[in-house]
Amino acid sequence: MIARVLRFVRFSHTIFALPFALGSMLVAADGLPQGRVVGLILLAMVFARTAAMTFNRLADWEIDQRNPRTADRHTLISRAGAVALLVASSGAFVATAWFINLLCFWLSPVALLIVFFYSLTKRFTSLSHFYLGLALSVSPVGAWLAVRGHFDFPPLVLALAVLLWVAGFDIIYATQDHEFDRGAGLRSLVVRVGIPRSLTWAQGLHWSMVGVLAVFGWAANLGTAFHAGLAVIAGVLIYEHRSAARLDLVAINRAFFLSNGIVGMVFLSAVFADRVCFR
Q: What is the pTM of this model?
A: 0.92
Asked if 177 and 46 touch (Cβ cutoff 8 Å), the reply is no
CA-to-CA separations, 247 to 15, 31, 75, 159, 270, in angstroms, rounded: 24, 42, 29, 29, 31
d(CA 230, CA 233): 5
Asked if 4 and 77 touch (Cβ cutoff 8 Å), the reply is yes
Question: What is the per-residue pLDDT across 194-236, written as a single tens digit (0 to 9) for each?
Answer: 888 999 999 999 999 999 999 999 999 999 999 999 999 999 9
When the pLDDT of each residue in the chain is averaged and rounded to a whole number, the result is 88
Name the burial class of residue 182, with classes exposed (0-12), middle (13-18) and buried (19+) by CB atoms within 10 angstroms of its CB.
middle
- SS3 assignment, position 151: coil
Q: Read off the amino acid at residue 11.
A: F
Decide if pLDDT at 117 tops 80.
yes
d(CA 101, CA 118): 26
Domain ranges of the chain: 2-277
Mean pLDDT for 88-102 is 97
Short-list 137, 119, 149, CA closest to 212: 137
The phi and psi torsions of 221 (rounded to 5 degrees) equal 55, 45
d(CA 92, CA 276): 31
| Residues 6 or more apart in contact with residue 216 via CB below 8 angstroms | 154, 157, 158, 161, 222
What does the pLDDT read at residue 59?
A: 84
Question: Is the domain 2-277 a CATH 3.50.50.60 member?
Answer: no
What does the pLDDT read at residue 31?
A: 94
d(CA 272, CA 279): 10
What does the pLDDT read at residue 16?
A: 75
The band of 176, judged by pLDDT with boundaries at 50, 70 and 90, is confident
What does the pLDDT read at residue 247?
A: 67
What does the pLDDT read at residue 11?
A: 53
Question: What is the per-residue pLDDT across 1-54, written as a single tens digit (0 to 9) for each?
Answer: 655 655 655 655 566 789 999 999 999 999 999 999 999 999 999 999 999 989
d(CA 265, CA 249): 24
The band of 67, judged by pLDDT with boundaries at 50, 70 and 90, is low
